[in-house]
Every structure is written in structure tokens, then in C-alpha cells.
Structure 1
Amino acid sequence: MIREFAAGIRTLLRGFGLWRTRPGLMVLGLIPAIIALILLAAALVPLIISLPSVSTWLTPFAEGWLEPWRGLLRSAVSFVIVAAALALASVVFSALTLTIGDPFYQRIWHAVEVDLGDAPPADGGSFWSALGEGLRLVLLGILIAILVLLIGLIPAVGGFLGPIAGVVLTGRLLARELTGRAFDARDLSPADRAVLFSGSRARVLGFGVATQLCFLIPGGAVAIMPAAVAGSTMLARDMLTRAGTAALPTTTTPTPPPPAPLGAS
């Protein structure tokens, strides 16, 4: 299991290899990530500024407590709120970035498929399918944020378990979402995908956790997104190969013309 988890991390690192072979595409992949980050910052900065007021509002029962206990409690509540907000922000960032940058990420995905050989004849989904998946991702992210917040409020251990649960659950969700383009192109049913994920749980989790941790680094979300799209394509191919389903039937859609060499090196 540890070996598979580490393999998932290495898959993300392999995604950075596209900077060497297709630097133009990877640079273009930064643009939607920057736009999404600016939009998210407009929501997160006011929340961070108002954290003292929010934590005070959530803990009226501690008003009569002596210091330092009142301050420690409210600091812990603020920490949990930030952990939940970051879990949700990571998911919203991915949804926004993938939707805004669909044409760019479509080309990154296609470049990896071509480089690995035996690329599927269908494309990786339309803008509207990306928008629908983005909305679903946001809804699941809200549920994860609520769960992280509830776990974080558990006395004594919540401040430790909440952030860990956020990283693990959000990472897993991100990995499943990012591999969707490769599976959509192969017209795999939800049942087929469930089989693939069940056979590579640790590898998928390693990839997702590594991606999520990179998102938490200042500026890391922007830098990692093109590599995450490339790496997720490699992860999907690895899962197909490991399950012995690399030759699963694909759609009969005629082979589309190759994408225009937008930003290609």
C-alpha cells in the first residue's frame, strides 16, 4: 500500500515532464489557474480578515472564560474554519480552473495521450460536460468542508484530525475528477470507473494527496495545475493497464482533427 501511495506521488511528478516536451502548452495552462486564484482570493481574504469575529460568534459560551483558555479555544476554532475553507477552496479552484481552461487542458490531455501512444479516438468531453462536472465537484467540496468543520470541533483531537481529513478527502476527490477526462474519452461507465478506482485506491490517493498538499503552498495551486492535468492522464492510463482494460471499447465517434498547435513548442 505504501509503495502504491508513493507511485501515485511519482505520477504527479511525471506530469511535470511535459514542461520539457510541451512548454508552450504548459504555460497556457497557467492562465486559467491564475484567473481562478484571483477569483478565490476575493472570497478568502475577507474571510481570513473576519476570522476573530467569526470565531467569537461561534463560541458565545466562552465569553466568561478566563484567559488563556478563551483565546486558545477561539484560535482552535479559527484554525478549523481555515482548514474547512481551504478544503472547499481547493475543490472550487479545480472546478473553476478546469471549466475556464477547458480548451487548454484538452490539449494538454491530448498531448499526453499521443505521447503515451494508442490515444482514444474520442475527445475528452465538451465545455458543458466540464461545467457539469465542475458544479458536481463544488457540491461535493461543500459536503467535505462541512465534514471537516464538524470533525474539527471534536474536543482535543479535532484540531488535528480535521485538517488531515480535509487533505485526504479533498485529494481523493481531486484525483477522481482529474482522471475523468481520460475516462470520458473512452466512454467508460460509472461501474467501469468504480472497478478501476477500487483496484488502485492507494495510488489514486497518493496522487490526490500530493496534489492537494501542493495546492496549500502559496502559489502552488497555479504552478501545479497543468502538471496535475498531465499527471492525471498518466494515472488513468496506469489504472487501465493495471486492470488489464487498456483495450476497453471506446466510442465510435470519428477521429476528430488534432487540436490546433495552440502554444505548442
Structure 2
Amino acid sequence: MIGGFFSGVRMLVRGFGFWARRPGVMLLGLIPAAIVFLLVAGALVALGFGLPGITDWLTPFADEWVDPWPTIIRSAIGAILFGAAVVLAAVTFTAVTLAVGDPFYERIWRAVEVELGGSVPEHGTGFWRSVRDSAALIGLGVFAAMGVAVTGFIPVVGAVLAPVLGVVLSGRLLAMELSSRAFEARGIPASDRRMLLRGHRAKVLGFGVATQLCFMVPLGAVLVMPAAVAGSTLLARSVLDAAGVAGVGGADASVHPIDA
């Protein structure tokens, strides 16, 4: 379990290695990430400024309380709501960036596939398929954000449990979406993809949590996105190789072994 988790973390680290080997392709991946980041960050800033009014509207009953309890309860609710918004923002950023930047990220995906060897699909997932998958991911992100918000209201442990749950849930969603290209390009449907990834839960979680934590660093989402696409391709190929999917691996795979 622990070994699989850190194996997933190493996938992201190895994704950064492509900056040295394919800097031009990786640099292109910054463009859509930067554009979407500005939009998502702007929405979070607007929410931050509006939180006092939102918490006041949600807690009219606290007006009659003795100070400092109204401030305490409203601050706690504001923190929970903002934490849930951060979870949704991370998922939305990834979904929209992958859809908008599909041509850029397909080049990164293909560069990793070629380096790993084996049969590389001729075509990627396509723009409209990316849009559909992105919409589904945002929908799942809404449910994850709601779960984080509800968890935050659990007495005593909620303040600690909510952010941890947020990182875990959003990280898993990010890993699932980022790694989908290698599966879909080979015609593997979502149900089979989930089944394949289910056997590598720790690795998927390790990659996703590491990616999410990097996204939470200021400007980290922009700088890490190309490496996350490369690392997720490594993750997907390691799962496909372990499952013995036809056309994956091959003679060249021994030259660039995938960390299992």
C-alpha cells in the first residue's frame, strides 16, 4: 500500500523529467494552464471578498448571540465553504485546461508514449470527447466539494478531516481524468478503465495527492500541469503494461522501464 502510494508520487516526479528532454513541447502546455488559472483564481478571489456577506446570510440566527460567538461560527463556516470551493476549483481547472489545451497536451502525451515504446495510437481523444469528459469531471467535483463542506461541520474533527478529505477526493479525481487519454486513445471504455485502475488504487492516489498538493502552491497549477500530463501517461502505461494490454510495451519498453 505505502509502496504503491510513493510509486504514484514518483510518476509525477518523472513527469518533471520531460522538461529536460522535451522542453519545447512542455512549454506549450503552460499556455492553456495559465489562461484557465487566471479565470479560476479570479473566481476564488471574488468568492473570498463575498464570503462575509454569504456567511451573514447563512447565519441570521447568530445575530442574537453574544460576542465573540457570531464571529467564530461565521469564520468557521466561511473557511469550510472556501475549502470546498478550492476542491471544486482544482477539479474545474484540470477539466477546463485539458479541454481547452487538448492539442497541446496531446503532443505531451504522444511524446511520452513514443519514448516508452510499443504501439502508439494514431489519434488522441479529440476535442469534443475532452469537453464531454471535462463536464463529467466538473460534475463529480461538485459532489466532492459538497462532501468536503458537510464533513467540515462534524464537531471536533471536522476542521482537520475536511481539508484531508478534500485533497484525497480531488487528487483521485485528478488522477483519473489526467490518465484517461492513454486508455481512451486505445478504445478502452470508462468502465474497463475504472476496473484497471482499481487494481492500482494506492498508485493512483499517490499520483493524485502529489499533483493536488502541487496545485495548491501559488502558481503551482500552471507550472505543474505539463508534468502532470506526462506523469499521468506514465501512470496509465504502467497500469496497461501490468494488465498485459495488447500493443503496449514491447521490445523498446526495457529501454525506458516504467516504475511499477
| Post-superposition offset of 1:176 | 0.5
Distance in 1, Cα, partners of 2:136 & 2:211? 19
Where in structure 1 are there 5+ consecutive unaligned residues? 249-265
Q: Which residue of 1 aligns with 2:83?
A: 83
Does the CA contact (< 8 Å) of 1:29 and 1:101 recur in 2?
yes
| Post-superposition offset of 1:157 | 2.0
| Post-superposition offset of 1:11 | 0.5
Flag as ranges the 4+ runs of structure 1 deviating above 4 A: none
Q: Deviations over 1:117-141 (max 9, x none)?
A: 0142332211110111111111111
Distance in 2, Cα, partners of 1:154 & 1:34? 36
Q: Which residue of 1 aligns with 2:245?
A: 245
| Comparing 60-69 and 133-142, the one that deviates more | 60-69
Q: Which residue of 2 aligns with 1:263?
A: none
Cα RMSD, aligned residues only: 1.4
Distance in 2, Cα, partners of 1:73 & 1:167? 24
Q: Which secondary structure state, in structure 1, belongs to the residue aligned with residue 3 of structure 2?
A: helix
Q: Which secondary structure state, in structure 2, belongs to the residue aligned with residue 25 of structure 1?
A: helix
Residue 220 (1) aligns with residue 185 (2): no
Q: Which secondary structure state, in structure 1, belongs to the residue aligned with residue 244 of structure 2?
A: coil
Does the CA contact (< 8 Å) of 1:237 and 1:246 recur in 2?
no
Structure 1 172/108 Cα, relative in aligned 2: closer, same or farther at 3 Å? Answer: same
Q: Which residue of 2 aligns with 1:121?
A: 121
Q: Which residue of 2 aligns with 1:173?
A: 173
Count matched residues: 248
Taking structure 2 as the reference length, the TM-score comes to 0.91
Q: Which residue of 2 aligns with 1:110?
A: 110
| Comparing 115-124 and 200-209, the one that deviates more | 115-124
Identity of aligned residues (%): 54
Q: Which residue of 2 aligns with 1:72?
A: 72
Residue 135 (1) aligns with residue 135 (2): yes
Q: Which secondary structure state, in structure 1, belongs to the residue aligned with residue 65 of structure 2?
A: coil
| Post-superposition offset of 1:233 | 0.1
Does the CA contact (< 8 Å) of 2:118 and 2:247 recur in 1?
no
Letter of the 1:208 partner, please give it.
Answer: G
Q: Which residue of 2 aligns with 1:23?
A: 23
Q: Which residue of 1 aligns with 2:44?
A: 44
Letter of the 1:42 partner, please give it.
Answer: G
Q: Which secondary structure state, in structure 1, belongs to the residue aligned with residue 103 of structure 2?
A: helix
| Post-superposition offset of 1:81 | 0.9
Distance in 2, Cα, partners of 1:192 & 1:141? 21
Distance in 2, Cα, partners of 1:53 & 1:106? 43
Taking structure 1 as the reference length, the TM-score comes to 0.90
Q: Which secondary structure state, in structure 2, belongs to the residue aligned with residue 155 of structure 1?
A: coil
| Post-superposition offset of 1:102 | 0.6
Q: Which residue of 1 aligns with 2:148?
A: 148
Q: Which secondary structure state, in structure 1, belongs to the residue aligned with residue 64 of structure 2?
A: coil
Q: Which residue of 1 aligns with 2:198?
A: 198
Letter of the 2:229 partner, please give it.
Answer: V
Q: Which secondary structure state, in structure 2, belongs to the residue aligned with residue 50 of structure 1?
A: helix
